[in-house]
Structure 1
Amino acid sequence: MLRWALCAVRRPARALTWFGRIGSCQVRWFTDGSAPAPVIAAKHPFQVDLTAEKRYAWCACGHSKKQPFCDGSHKKASPSFSPLRFVVEESKTVWLCGCKQTKNQPYCDGTHKSELVQKS
């Protein structure tokens, strides 16, 4: 379970009309379909051992060379993206999304198996 997160929320069917904070989450909304799409970094998830109470930053843009984690590449390559920062309450092994298309960020939901991802 995530204890906190700082994230940029993408709404695919919207253009930039509002930017602000809701609680601890940074939010950007789009209204004209111009939302940027992340680069598909991998067509498979990454199995990762996470340590309790350690802070992680999951790459949301797909440009990081340290997948599935952020290395700051979004600042130059995709400035409209921010990494999803998170902490797990207990140490565990998880599958983190590599295709960046998951609806359950940062965890894999099987979207990498879709035709869209596999043909890219």
Structure 2
Amino acid sequence: MSIPKIADTKPMVMELEAGNYFWCTCGNSANQPFCDGGHKGTDFVPQKFTLEEKQKVAMCLCKHSQNPPFCDGAHAKL
């Protein structure tokens, strides 16, 4: 299993509209925290998630969260 690139060691807090999103699992996307296809040629695939309503979220950028795509504080142990 490949190890993801750590995009940052803190979460990205943002307000997102209701809808479908694709979270970058590899860390290679230039459009963090979202997938831009940077995983091509790797064994990573983006993770789809859906928000039912507009909400403020803390998106994981270290790629080690046990609750992806959301931050669970795993970055503090890296």
SS at match of 2:40: helix
- Structure 2: gaps of 5 or more residues: none
Q: 2:9 aligned with 1:43, yes or no? A: yes
CA distance in 1, matches of 2:38, 2:54: 27
| Aligned 1:5-20 pairs, distance under 5 A | none
- Structure 1: gaps of 5 or more residues: 1-34
Q: Specify the alignment match of 1:13 in structure 2.
A: none
- TM-superposed CA distance for 1:81, in Å, is 0.3
Runs (4+) of structure 1 exceeding 4 A deviation are: none
Identity %: 45
- TM-superposed CA distance for 1:49, in Å, is 1.1
- TM-superposed CA distance for 1:48, in Å, is 1.6
Q: Specify the alignment match of 1:91 in structure 2.
A: 54
The number of residue pairs the alignment matches comes to 78
Q: Specify the alignment match of 2:28 in structure 1.
A: 63
TM-score (norm 2): 0.95
Query: In the TM superposition, what whole-angstrom CA distance separates every residue of 1:70-110 from its partner, at most 9, and x where no partner exists?
Result: 1000013xx20001111111110000001000000000000
SS at match of 1:73: coil
TM-score (norm 1): 0.63
